[in-house]
Structure 1
């Protein structure tokens, strides 16, 4: 199992769509899947207001069985505050069609986060999930760090 994340400045050219064979997991049972582990990528400071960080989160299923995974973006407020609000940033994911779609952001105790349930994918052995995100700071003076990660389900 391997997690890679690349954080770059504004504008990544030539990004290709995610694997077509990677389908979202349908939630058909009354019991929701619960992550058993997280693979954290390196953190990076939020850019200044009006600027963006573009990055790629990639995970390869090196096991011999199907693996449910979900990429997640965490944006953590400074320890001393002020805490970030969801309206302070915009998170976008590049879709399979090449266009960016806004990803909703939740908030809890100073940490902003993207939804794990909506991001779940089942990877067959040997498959790789690659997601491209952009975090843009909307609010002047917003400070914090961005941490991409992948949730693993058992």
Structure 2
């Protein structure tokens, strides 16, 4: 992985604490297995990330579905946050938040997710996506991505893990 991307991810993590929280509700299918993270946990920094399979950024202006699936392998509750990264090529052109539309399926409706930008990477805020995943339960979060300005890039879903 290029140094710029590592630096970008590190900078993105430090910037997350300053981001405003946006409304984020759980899909009805996940509501039985997760709960909102307690306020005391809301300022914690992730201790690890589980990278899920990446894919090339679509270039056809169509809405493409992305599913983030993560199973808590332990018996204990675990605080997690699903996240979508849209990475630009190392040498540009760099995508901006207006170049893509990302939506999350929430309560049976698609809702637009705000994207932040750092060093050529667009990302969904972690603070508003945090939830408690009960032991041995599975999180399934569905997104829909539409590229408004076609450009090369990569879509990288992942899950942030907290202590």
Give the TM-score band, short-chain normalised: 0.7 to 0.9
TM-score (norm 1): 0.82
Unaligned runs of at least 5 residues, structure 2: 1-26
How many pairs align? 136
Richer in helix (by share): 2
Say whether 1:143 aligns with 2:152: yes
Say whether 1:153 aligns with 2:153: no
Unaligned runs of at least 5 residues, structure 1: 1-15
Say whether 1:35 aligns with 2:46: yes
Any runs of at least 4 consecutive aligned residues in structure 1 with deviations exceeding 3 A, and if so which? none
Aligned to 2:119: 109
Q: 1:60 aligns with which of 52, 57, 71?
A: 71
Q: Deviations over 1:77-112 (max 9, x none)?
A: 0111011000000110101x2110101100000000
Aligned-partner SS, 2:31: coil
Q: Which aligned pairs between 1:1-154 and structure 2 lie closer than 5 A?
A: 17-21=28-32, 22-28=34-40, 32-95=43-106, 97-139=107-149, 141-154=150-163
Please give the alpha-carbon distance, in whole angstroms, between the structure 1 residues aligned to 2:66 and 2:78.
23
TM-score (norm 2): 0.78
RMSD of aligned alpha carbons: 1.7
